[in-house]
């Protein structure tokens, strides 16, 4: 089976009340961990590449790795550009064989967002085979390499805007802002309550009212959630027990993501949770075996941890097991 776009993946996910996981990949170990987990769970999966990943590993290397994973697993896999900042990067990925792209013009005023998105949609849909396009309305908080929005500058999606945006742009899916954010520090401690027993921060709930309103305005239309790592504390603990220092790292509770996946959300983006699992595996190994210096020694348990967390997400959060 060749790489697929997201059209059919989302149609099935919408009807089936589950979401397809979109996991960020930056190297071979991450691609293998994600796709081996998906294979074990017989789940469709989206592998996404950010601008930072293209810089780090080169688009052509990542594409070949993903093609190897398709060959290895036989699963429906989409190769997606994550947070394309402009038409040029989207075009480069479409020309380079990506089956799906995100144009993220959400930092621009509404009319500009429409114009930029429309241009990408025209190019992507004219491509043979058809490339699907995701866009974003509203802005998430959070800080990563190429995606930086300060707390206080984020804004929820306004449901009044979505019909016009989708109609005028022709996009295939829409990312909305309902309280998730990028990175491992999604909420400031003052936005949370603290569990008196464990000391762990409990974040504020997502704005399901906005999601419901958006899906009423766009019946049957696939919605995307970015910033959907849960910052599983078991990995934070391993990191901190082995020389790391992640203080008050907090994510979106998994039950809330499961609820979103049963609604109109068809794609859930997860990156930070994989970074944490990989880092936990490396730190734990290095601490236990200070004499090791062969990357295969420490990348093997790190890849195992990423595989485990992806399986957990597919089974307990996305609901996409046995949907390939």
CA atoms within 13 A on the CB side of 214: 31
Among 118, 226, 311, 313, binds ligand 13P (CB under 6 A): 226
Nearest CB to ligand 13P, comparing residues 93 and 286: 93
β strands within the chain, DSSP E: 20-24, 45-49, 77-84, 100-103, 132-137, 141-143, 148-149, 173-176, 181-182, 193-194, 201-202, 223-225, 265-270
- We find the least distance from the C-beta atom of residue 144 to ligand 13P, in angstroms, to be 7
Q: Please list every residue from 64 through 83 that binds ligand 13P, using CB under 6 A.
A: 82-83
Site residues, Zn ion (CB under 5 A): 226, 269
Q: From ligand 13P, ligand G3H, Zn ion, none, which one binds at residue 228 (CB under 5 to 8 Å depending on kind)?
A: ligand 13P
Nearest CB to ligand G3H, comparing residues 134 and 324: 134
Q: Please list every residue from 86 through 125 that binds ligand G3H, using CB under 6 A.
A: none
The SS3 assignment for 62 reads: helix
Residue 147 binds ligand G3H (CB under 6 A):
yes
Contact string (CB under 6 A) for ligand 13P, positions 176-195, x = contact = ------xx------------
Nearest CB to Zn ion, comparing residues 73 and 173: 173
Residue 270 binds ligand 13P (CB under 6 A):
yes
Is 82 one of the annotated active-site residues of the chain?
yes
Contact string (CB under 6 A) for ligand G3H, positions 172-211, x = contact = ----------x-----------------------------
Crossing angle for the helix pair 295-312 and 28-41, to the nearest 10 degrees: 40
Note whether 133 and 124 are within 8 A (CB). yes
Exposed / middle / buried, residue 243 (Cβ in 10 Å: 0-12, 13-18, 19+) = exposed
Q: From ligand 13P, Zn ion, ligand G3H, none, which one binds at residue 175 (CB under 5 to 8 Å depending on kind)?
A: none
- Tokens 């934070």: give the residue: 236
Q: Which of the ranges 61-69, 71-79, 238-246, 263-271 carries the binding residues for ligand 13P, by CB under 6 A?
A: 263-271
Q: Give me the DSSP letters along 78-130.
A: EEEEEEE-SHHHHHHHHHTT-SEEEE--TTS-HHHHHHHHHHHHHHHHHSSSP
User: Which residues are bridge partners to 48 per DSSP?
Assistant: 24, 80
User: Which residues are bridge partners to 142 per DSSP?
Assistant: 149, 182
- We find the least distance from the C-beta atom of residue 288 to ligand 13P, in angstroms, to be 27
Count of other CB atoms within 10 angstroms of residue 68: 14
Q: From ligand 13P, Zn ion, ligand G3H, none, which one binds at residue 145 (CB under 5 to 8 Å depending on kind)?
A: ligand G3H
Q: Which residues bind ligand 13P (CB under 6 A)?
A: 24, 82-83, 182-183, 226-229, 269-273
Q: Which residues bind ligand G3H (CB under 6 A)?
A: 24, 50, 52-53, 82-83, 144-147, 182, 271
């Amino acid at each position: 089976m060749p790489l697929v776009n997201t059209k059919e993946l989302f149609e099935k996910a919408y009807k089936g009340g589950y979401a397809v996981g979109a996991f960020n990949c930056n190297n071979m170990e991450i691609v293998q961990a994600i796709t081996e987990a998906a294979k074990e769970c017989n789940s469709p999966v989206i592998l996404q590449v950010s601008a930072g990943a293209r810089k780090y590993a080169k688009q052509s290397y990542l594409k070949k790795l993903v093609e190897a994973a398709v060959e290895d697993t036989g699963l429906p896999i989409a190769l997606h550009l994550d947070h394309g900042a402009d038409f040029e990067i989207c075009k480069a990925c479409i020309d380079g064989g990506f089956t799906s792209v995100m144009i993220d013009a959400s930092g621009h005023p509404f009319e500009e967002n429409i114009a930029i998105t429309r241009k990408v949609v025209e190019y992507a849909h004219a491509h043979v085979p058809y490339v699907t396009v995701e866009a974003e309305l509203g802005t998430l908080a959070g800080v990563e390499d190429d995606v930086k929005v300060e707390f206080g500058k984020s804004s929820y999606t306004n449901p009044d805007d979505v019909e016009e945006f989708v109609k005028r742009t022709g996009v295939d899916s829409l990312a909305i802002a309902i309280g998730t954010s990028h990175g491992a520090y999604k909420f400031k401690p003052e936005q949370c309550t603290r569990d008196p027993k464990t000391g762990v921060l409990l974040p504020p709930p997502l704005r399901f009212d906005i999601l419901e309103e958006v899906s009423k305005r766009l019946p049957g239309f696939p919605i995307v959630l970015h910033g959907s790592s849960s910052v599983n504390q078991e990995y934070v603990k391993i990191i901190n027990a082995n020389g790391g220092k992640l203080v008050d790292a907090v994510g979106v509770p998994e039950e809330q993501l499961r609820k979103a996946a049963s609604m109109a959300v068809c794609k859930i983006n997860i990156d930070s949770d994989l970074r944490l699992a990989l880092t936990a595996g490396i730190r734990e190994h290095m601490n236990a075996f200070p004499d090791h210096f062969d990357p295969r020694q420490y990348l093997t348990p790190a890849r195992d941890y990423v595989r485990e967390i992806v399986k957990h997400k597919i089974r307990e959060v996305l609901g996409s097991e046995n949907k390939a």
